[in-house]
Amino acid sequence: MTDHTFNHNLEFASSDKIKMVQDRLLVAHIRFLADTSGFYQKQFTHMGIDVASITGLQDLKRLPLTSKPDLEQHSKDFLCVSQEEIVDICLTSGTTGRPTALMQTKSDLERLGYNEELSFLSTGITPRDKVMIAAAIDRCFMAGMAYFLGLLRIGATIIRAGSSSMPVLTNLVLEQKPTAIVGVPTLMLAIGRRLAEDGTDPGGLGVTRLVCIGEPVREQDFSLSSLGRKLEELWGAQVFGTYASTEMATTFCECPEHTGGHVHPDLILVEILDDNGQPVQPGTPGDVVVTPLGVRGMPLLRFRTGDVAVLHDQPCKCGRNSARLGSIMGRKSQLLKIRGTTVFPAAIFSALQEIPGVVNFYIEVRGQYALSDEVRVVAGVRDPDLTPFMLSEQISAKTRIKPEVVLADPDTVQARTLVQGKRKPVQFFDYRDKFDE
């Protein structure tokens, strides 16, 4: 049962051809859900949707949206295949809710491999490359396994370094000489710095590409963020941004033009919606809502990622006609409201990263019902000349908001941001009362 044939050239086809293929895949997707998904059968009945009337992308807006709580609370109802067909279990990262088990069939893993194959190919990786995966392949994470499957399809040499041991990572870089590394940017920065401390210039090791996962490395105008620039300078390598999640089982990866992550059109539909669930004007930020295509185990329809970004639909200079998703601006639930202006914590982080002498930082936010959130930025600094006023001015120049700034000892800040059980430092503490997500 699959209408899904992988088409490596679809991204280069005309937008009419892309739309035609997507229309057909959406129809097949809806039929599959109506035939097999307990969750969506109920939704379609409840909303009075005649499945036969769905003929293409224009009908997408009539279909129900799916939220993270839907998936967390009714995960068993999303399963569309028998237990026998399940070959792998992936846990969602659980950054906003509790982890959910997503059941994968063999064809889902093939699809995942194809997805990463397309992504790595668009960065220019070939069978001649040696690629180090600096991400976990165990603990039921989807990402590390997906990278492995994708690189296997390309035929590149794979170095499964994982992410947990710095000596393992630095030794593998020195001994196996990867030409590309895929990992979280802060980890790749730490590997490079460790090598430099030990007397090896990471820029001279032959690493040509850094494929960044988990955090954005570019600003909205596609220029590198402070973190992205540091990586590029340290490694002397091209930096590629990607965006993905376990639920969407699809990656948005930059091509060498570095103007957003390309949509793989036969693997996912992307909508950008406003607060009322309506499509935004092209080029306007909104909620990223995705419909992964061709998934068999636990397929989703119009899944609200909770992330905010802009979709760019003009053809890319690389020759692909598939749309591109700009850097994620932040999580919708984290949007800060300060005296009539709204800003994502990431924009404040980005401003802080630009200030020499600022070692680390976190943000606390309080308040509810008020027109303005109470935002406090705590920055760890070692430079005695830095003042809260100076930091506040720098943040204001980049974000148009002027939060309260408190200076602290970097060790105190670090103690606060290292939270047990979390993969990344926690830099945002939200004490506002909230009911969604």
* CB-nearer residue toward Zn ion: 121 or 190: 121
Task: Tell me how far, at minimum, the Cβ of 307 lies from Zn ion, in Å.
Answer: 21
Structure tokens at 281: 């004007």
Q: Shortest distance, CB of residue 142 to Zn ion, whole angstroms?
A: 25
Tokens of 155: 């035929």
For the CB of residue 304, give the shortest distance to Zn ion in the complex, in Å.
26
Give 57 or 318: the residue with its C-beta nearer to Zn ion. 318
Task: Indicate the residue type of 367.
Answer: G
Question: C-beta of 316: minimal distance to Zn ion in Å?
Answer: 3
Rounded to whole angstroms, the Cα distance separating 238 from 272 reads 29
Q: Are 309 and 328 contacting, i.e. CB atoms less than 8 angstroms apart? A: yes
What is the smallest separation between the CB atom of 255 and Zn ion, expressed in angstroms? Answer: 3
Nearer to Zn ion, 125 or 316 (CB): 316
Q: Which residues pair with 133 in a beta bridge?
A: 160, 182
Closer CB to Zn ion, residue 247 or residue 254? 254
Which of 334, 348, 339, 405 minimizes the C-alpha distance to 373? 339
**Relative orientation angle of helices 388-399 and 345-353, to the nearest 10 degrees:** 120
Amino acid at 314: Q
The residues binding Zn ion (CB under 5 A) are 255, 257, 316, 318, 320
Choice between 68 and 320, CB closer to Zn ion: 320
* Cα distance between residue 144 and residue 9, in whole Å: 25
Nearer to Zn ion, 295 or 323 (CB): 323
325 versus 363: smaller Cβ distance to Zn ion: 325
At closest approach, how far in Å is the CB of 254 from Zn ion? 7
Q: Residue 115 Cβ, how far from Zn ion at the closest point, in Å?
A: 16
* DSSP letter, residue 105: E
What's the closest the beta carbon of residue 319 comes to Zn ion, in angstroms? 7
How many C-beta atoms surround the C-beta of residue 90 within 10 A?
24
Q: State the nearest-atom distance from the C-beta of 241 to Zn ion, in Å.
A: 12
| Contacting residues for 61 by C-beta, under 8 A, at least 6 apart | 278, 279
Q: What minimum distance in Å lies between the beta carbon of 313 and Zn ion?
A: 12
Strand order in the sheet with 157-160: 157-160, 130-134, 180-183, 209-212, 238-245, 250-254, 261-262, 324-325, 311-312
Q: What is the C-alpha to C-alpha distance for residues 119 and 113, in angstroms, rounded to an integer?
A: 10
Residues 1, 296: Cα–Cα separation, whole Å: 9
CA angle, 328 then 332 then 337, to 5°: 110
Helix spans in 48-105 (H): 68-73
Complex with Zn ion: residue 28 or 318, whichever CB lies closer: 318
**Alpha-carbon span 177 to 206, nearest angstrom:** 7
| 209 in Cβ contact with 256 (< 8 Å) | no
Kindly tell me which of 33 and 311 has the beta carbon lying closer to Zn ion: 311
* Residue 65 near residue 287, CB atoms below 8 Å: no
Cα dihedral value 237, 183, 124, 3, nearest 10 = -170
Rounded-to-integer distance, Cα 32 and Cα 121, Å: 30
For Zn ion, the closer CB: 203 or 315: 315
Tokens of 261: 């992550």
Give least dist CB 48 to Zn ion, A.
41
Between CA 41 and CA 333 the distance in angstroms is 29
In the complex with Zn ion, the residue whose CB is nearer, 121 or 408, is 121
